[in-house]
Every structure is written in C-alpha cells, then in structure tokens.
Structure 1
Amino acid sequence: MNRSHPPAPLDPALDAAMLLRRIGFGALALALPLVALLSRRAAVLLVPIAIVLLVIAALIEEPGRFLRILRDEVLSRPGLILIGLVGWAFLSLVWSPYPSGGFEKATNMTIAVALGFLGLSALPERMRSSNLNLVSLGNGLAALVALGLIIFALVRSTEPPPAAVERGVSIVLIMAWPALAWLLSRERGLSALGLAFVITLLALTRFDDGETIPMIFGAVAFGAVTASRADATRVIAAIAAGLMLLAPLLPFLLAPLITALPNNDSDLAQAMWIWADVIRQSPIELITGHGLDTVLRGRMSGALPPAAPSSLLFETWYELGLVGACAAAAGLYFAIRAAGRMAGALAAGGVAAFTTAFALGALGFGPLLPWWLMTLTAVILMFGAVARGQYRTDRPAVPLRMRAASPIRPKAGRPPSAA
C-alpha cells in the first residue's frame, strides 16, 4: 500500500524573503534601465532601495550566512583595498582646500562600496532563472525604448534628446554586458545576437559623447577573453592597472607627439601640457595629492585652467596622488582577474564591463558621480547574481573500471539471459 507523503508545511517567512528578493532584484535588473530613461536620479534612488530589500530577504532567510559572507567580503584582499582607498580619500580632506565638497564625494564613494558589500553578501547561494531572466529582459526593453526616443527626437526636431535619456542610455550600455553574459551562458545565441545588434545601434548614437569607443574596447575585450581567457584577462588587467599607475608619464609622452601631428587636436594637446605643468609645479602633491574634489573646485575657483584634463586618470593622481593611484590600480587589477575566473561567458562579459567602465573614465566620462557609482554597483551585483545562477553540478560519469568490476545482477525469479 503506497502512502502519500504529507505536504510540506508552509513557511510565511521564507515566502516573504523570496518575494522581497524578487522585488529587489527586479528593481535592479528591470526597473533601473527603464526608469533611468525618464529620471536622472533613477540609479541614486533605486539601487539603495533594491539592496535594502535584498538584505532584508537574506536576514529573514539565513542571517548567519549573510553575516559570514559579509565578513569574508570585507576582509578579502579586494575588500581591504577598497576600504583603504576610501580611507585615504577621507584622509586627503585634511589638506584639501575644499573639505566640504570633498567630504560629499568621499561619502558617495563610501556608500557605493558599502552597498556593494551588502548586496553581494545578500545574494542567495542559488539564484532562480526566473529572476535572472529579468536582466536581459530589462536591458533589451530599455534599449528599444531608448532607440525609439532618440529616433522620435530626431524626427520631431533637431534638438538633442532630454538629459535623462542620455544618462539612461549610458546606464543601458554598461548594463548590456551582464545581460549578454546571461543569455550566452544559457546558450540563447539568437537572443544574444539580437540584443547585441540593438546595443550596437544605441552605442553608435553616442559617438559624439565619447561612449562609442569604450564600448568598442569592451567588445574587443569580450572577444579576446572568449578566445583565450587566461592570457587575455592577464593582459587586460595589466594594461588597465599600468595606465592607472603610470598615468603621470602620459602628458610628457603624448603632448609632444600630438603637437607634432599635422592635424593635431589642439584641445587635447593643451590639456596634456597643463597636466605636465601641474606635475612640475607640485612634485610633493604627486605623492599625497591635492585632496578630494580639488579638480572641479579648482576649475571653478581658477586654481586650475578650464582646459585641464577631465579624466579619471588625471583626477585620481591630482586629488589622491601616488597612494590613491596605487590602491586604485591594485583594486582594478584584482577585480579584472576575478572577473576572468568566472564560468563560461561570464568571464568575457565581466572583463568587458570593467574594460568599458575604465575606458569611459579614462576618456573623461563623469568619474565618481553618484549616479555612475550606483550604476557600477548594480552591474557588479548582476554579475554576482548571474554567477550564482549557473549550473554547478554535472552527473558524474562512471569510470569503465567500475563498470567492469560491478556486474549486473539479475532480478529475483528471472534467470540471467545467455550471452
């Protein structure tokens, strides 16, 4: 007589945790790229709310696991490097001539780092595919809506799209990498090809704003890691960290070269000469930096010429000096190497995302702005979630020796068949 098993008891707390996690992750993957096309503060508002929901879900479900992973994340080598960088940024306020503005910038960095630690620690050990499908769905819908808004603006008038749309397009472009990685990890080649086509069209609309070239760099990194994961990851990590660490040499190398070209870019050459003069006039600040937020405030007060470089490389060295640049280079190197160790297509997507973000900053795209910091935090969380949604176990194959050593026993009452 077969006895049916009693139904599993309902757990309201577990159901509430799953619902909160779905809402929180949906806010990151689905709502963020869409709402960013309408509101300039979408990332600043949605990312903290989403991470708070993820943390509450983790505390309801497994508080011990959440605290243990959070401790491990903070005490890891990349975690300690990030904490050291933030600590040095706060310390630079002591000699900064603009401590109030620097304090706001350091606080934004601290919030982004803290949210990153909390969000990664709050992710479950196994992410549901239904949640992760929102990554590609949200990015694809947002890309189509952004293209429609840009085409509508071009047809109706010659004015550019609203500022919220331009900022939203930047968010959609950088969030395309985890979406493509998820589709490729699930072997949805046609969907990934369609998304890549839409993202390429969207990236081409941002050529004048300097975002097309970084996306091309990211695509090259994606292809290189796909072809040779270990070697390409090592080379890309070394190039990014080397550029950050050796950035003060760039003005002395590039300024004469740009000036000697027949069709030279006078603005870029002037920016390089200004950077070289800053290094000559402030050799001690090359070690300590001038203090956080001194580039923007210096331009406004006249301490820096308006034509001074607008780049993550220049701002890091001018504000935080050698100490900050070393910490940033080390963090960037280990982050890219860690991305290259992810499974399958995630490695290519992660390295491509870091390459794109670094190229954007190096070419002068809004470094350390609050909305951009929150966007990068969301991208890192989505890669962490996609990594937890991969198949982790395969059915083990039985070795031939074991098959030979364990003969098949016939069932009782039935003689073995003759060979």
Structure 2
Amino acid sequence: MSSVALALVLAAGPLLAQRMRIKEAFAFLVSPVGIGCIFVTVWASASLLWTPFPGEAAPRLLKIVSTFLSVLPVAHVLPARSRAANLYVLPIGVLTASAGAILLSASLSAKPQDSVTTRTLLDAMTFLLLLSWPAMMAAFLRGRTKLAASLAIIVIIASLFVHSTIALAATAAGGLAYVFSRRDAARTGLWIGRFGAAGFMLAPFIPLALAPLLGGFTGFSWLKVWNGVIFADGVRLVTGHGFNYVASGYVHGYLGAETPKSLLFEIWTDLGALGALSSAAVLFCAFRLAAVQTANTAPYWIGALTFVATLGVLGGATLQLWWITALALALVALILATRGDFQTERPTAPRQVLS
C-alpha cells in the first residue's frame, strides 16, 4: 500500500506543488546527513562481497535504499504550504486508528492468544506512536492544542491496552526530549545528538565491561553473548560480517534466542566499526538538522528522532522492512506537517478613525 500511495503522490505532484523542487533533493544528498547516508549505503553494498547470505542481503538492501530514496521526490512534490484540510488528516487518522486498536485489543483479550495477531498489533501500535509526532505537530500548528494533547493521551492509552512496553519507553524518552526542546531546541538537539553518537561508537565497551559482572544473571545473558562475539570477531570487528548477517542468522539458527536484539548490535556485527562510526555521524547530523527547524516544529522533530533512536537501542524495531516503510511514511508526514508552519501572521485590517 505504501508504494501505491507514494506513486499517487508523485503522479499528482505537478498538480499539488507550485513548482518541482528537485534541486532541493540533490542539495540534501550533498548535505552532511545525505553524505553520511551515502557512505553507509556504499559500505553496506560493499559488504555484500563477504556476507554469508548474499542472496538474502542484496534484495533487502535494495528495498531499504529504494524506500528511503523515494522519500526525496515525494517530499519535493508536496505543496510548499500544506493546507489546513490536509493537516487535519494526520491527527484524525491517528485518533481513529488508536481508538480501533483499543477496541481490537479489548476484544482479543477474551480470546486465546495468537502470537501472529499479537505481534501485528504491537507493530501497528509502534507505527501509531511514531505517527503521533507529526500528527501532534499538525494539530499544534493549527492552534488545536487540546486536540494535540488528547491525541497524545489516547495513543498512550492504546499502547497500554496493547502492552507496547518497549515503544512506550521510547515514547517517554521522546517526550522528555520534547519538553527540553520547547525551552532550547538548538542545545537539546546538540546534546542528544552527541549522546546518541557516543552511544553508537562506544556500544561494544558495554558488554566488555559488564559481561563479567552481569552476564550470568537472568535478563543479562545478551551481554555474555555480545562479549563472546567481540572476542571471536577479530578483523570482523572493523569490517563486520556483512549486511543482513544478524537478520539471516536468526532465521537460519546461527544466532540463538539470547542474541541481542538492539540496533547497535546489528550495526556493529553487520557493518563493523566503519558502519557504526558512519551511522553515529548520520545520527548526530540528523539531530542537528532537526534542531535548526522552526521554533514550532523543532521539538516534534527532536521528539520523533529520539523515539526512533531509543526504540532501535531497546530492540523494539531494527532494520525490518515494515519498520523501514514506516520510517519513510513518517518522514513524509513530518515534512507535510512542517510545511504547515507558515511563519507569517494574517495582518489586522486597519480601523478607520472617526474624526
């Protein structure tokens, strides 16, 4: 469905937009974020030469890259100024879907648990929590603060019904970032970007330091597993085992159930130090870019980025294809909502002075 929607937007672009802003798309590619993304893509493509599962890795990488690349032309054929009617679609849609999730979860609670249905509902709720950021931004920009607050409350209630524990933790982190960004978005984005980049670069030191202390306890066995992988990797710690090694390793049984589910482990194991360092640079530049948005929109961008980063660290969503599609759609929604901030005020009609 997402590919159909993107195709429709592209086809309608000349009618929706005042002009095709394709030059801005190329400008993004040569920006720090764009250059970082290109480097990660090139390195991931090169790692296909030594990945144990090239037949699975190559199509998956192509799907991920093409999905994100489709955001550029779609974003640049959207109208320069989003209409109010288009902005209201986001909060109304998220509210409706959240109410549906509550009803569906309540109806399923009385039936035997189906793992497939539960997993699907959890993924859908995670997507709704992600979309709540552009939805709240759209409501706020139209002066509907009560609608934005109600949306946040209902989405969180729906998450509690669905038991989206990891996604709720990521939402809490995003909410905290949002609160600080309301005071000083530039400083908040800078410090979160620094902290996130440092976390990417120093991630292997966590199992090295804590595995001897906590590796034997229940719930911390993943530290011992990661610690063993680090010592066994050798040169692979720099080059990685190749793109999609972790995902395919789960499927083929090369990696056990106690293997870490975090995006940090996946990036370090698949792409090595070079991939992790470039990913850290992309994350830092992304937060810097979010911080320089307007005063009305920057807190929502920073909150959404914090939500995504925290979710990846906690293992709620990594590089699964449904999540990549969700991120692409959320980016388009954030851009659409951001273009509703006109930064202008309607002039007041002059009053005629009676003499």
Same fold (TM over 0.5): yes
Q: What residue is the counterpart of 1:221 in the other structure? A: 177
Post-superposition Cα deviations, 1:183-208, rounded to whole Å, max 9, x if no partner, equal 12222121112111101212223546
Please tell me whether residue 82 in structure 1 is matched to residue 37 in structure 2: yes
Distance 1:302 1:66 in 2: 47
> Residue type matched to 1:131 in 2?
N
Post-superposition Cα deviations, 1:145-199, rounded to whole Å, max 9, x if no partner, equal 1111111222x32526554333221211111111111212222121112111101
Residue 351 (structure 1) aligned to one of 288, 291, 302: 302
Residue 380 (structure 1) aligned to one of 328, 331, 339: 331
Q: What residue is the counterpart of 2:232 in the other structure? A: 281
Please tell me whether residue 267 in structure 1 is matched to residue 227 in structure 2: no
Please tell me whether residue 334 in structure 1 is matched to residue 285 in structure 2: yes
Distance 1:374 1:152 in 2: 28
Residue 95 (structure 1) aligned to one of 45, 50, 55: 50
Post-superposition Cα deviations, 1:200-253, rounded to whole Å, max 9, x if no partner, equal 212223546522211111111111111322221111111112111211111123
Distance 1:359 1:351 in 2: 12
Residue 210 (structure 1) aligned to one of 147, 166, 169: 166
Q: Report the CA distance between 1:348 and its aligned residue.
A: 1.3
Please tell me whether residue 131 in structure 1 is matched to residue 86 in structure 2: yes
1:236-247 alignment to 2 at 5 Å? Answer: 236-247=192-203
Distance 1:272 1:105 in 2: 28
Q: What residue is the counterpart of 1:187 in the other structure? A: 143
TM-score (normalizing by structure 1): 0.77
Residue 124 (structure 2) aligned to one of 168, 173, 176: 168
Q: Report the CA distance between 1:64 and its aligned residue.
A: 6.5
Distance 2:165 2:217 in 1: 16
Determine helix, strand or coil for the equivalent of 1:65.
coil
Q: Does the CA-based 8 Å contact 2:177-2:302 persist in structure 1?
A: yes
Q: Does the CA-based 8 Å contact 1:237-1:333 persist in structure 2?
A: yes
Residue 111 (structure 2) aligned to one of 157, 163, 169: 157
C-alpha distance 216-265 of structure 1, shift in aligned 2 (>3 A)? farther
Q: Does the CA-based 8 Å contact 1:58-1:123 persist in structure 2?
A: yes
Distance 1:379 1:344 in 2: 20
Q: Report the CA distance between 1:396 and its aligned residue.
A: 8.7
Q: What residue is the counterpart of 1:19 in the other structure? A: none
Distance 1:209 1:171 in 2: 14
Please tell me whether residue 67 in structure 1 is matched to residue 11 in structure 2: no
Please tell me whether residue 312 in structure 1 is matched to residue 266 in structure 2: no
Structure 1 runs (4+) deviating above 6 angstroms are 61-64
Q: Report the CA distance between 1:99 and its aligned residue.
A: 0.6
Distance 1:64 1:191 in 2: 32
Distance 1:378 1:253 in 2: 39
Determine helix, strand or coil for the equivalent of 2:70.
helix
Q: Does the CA-based 8 Å contact 2:194-2:284 persist in structure 1?
A: yes
Out of 336-345 and 203-212, give the one that drifted further. 203-212
Q: What residue is the counterpart of 2:243 in the other structure? A: 292
Post-superposition Cα deviations, 1:239-298, rounded to whole Å, max 9, x if no partner, equal 112111211111123324535xxxx85232x21111111111212111111001111333
Please tell me whether residue 145 in structure 1 is matched to residue 130 in structure 2: no
Q: What residue is the counterpart of 1:231 in the other structure? A: 187
Q: Report the CA distance between 1:351 and its aligned residue.
A: 0.9
Q: What residue is the counterpart of 2:210 in the other structure? A: 254
Q: Does the CA-based 8 Å contact 2:244-2:270 persist in structure 1?
A: yes
1:36-47 alignment to 2 at 5 Å? Answer: 45=1, 47=2
Determine helix, strand or coil for the equivalent of 1:132.
helix
Identity %: 27
Q: Does the CA-based 8 Å contact 1:181-1:348 persist in structure 2?
A: no
Distance 1:78 1:219 in 2: 24
Distance 1:218 1:111 in 2: 27
Post-superposition Cα deviations, 1:327-362, rounded to whole Å, max 9, x if no partner, equal 211111111221122223421111111111111111
Q: What residue is the counterpart of 1:40 in the other structure? A: none
Post-superposition Cα deviations, 1:299-325, rounded to whole Å, max 9, x if no partner, equal 444543432111100000000011111
Distance 1:383 1:91 in 2: 32
> Residue type matched to 1:200 in 2?
I
Q: Does the CA-based 8 Å contact 1:59-1:66 persist in structure 2?
A: no
Determine helix, strand or coil for the equivalent of 1:242.
helix
> Residue type matched to 2:61 in 1?
A
Distance 1:162 1:248 in 2: 32
Q: Does the CA-based 8 Å contact 1:237-1:337 persist in structure 2?
A: yes
Out of 343-352 and 92-101, give the one that drifted further. 343-352
Q: Does the CA-based 8 Å contact 1:48-1:115 persist in structure 2?
A: no
Structure of higher CA gyration radius? 1
Distance 1:68 1:222 in 2: 31
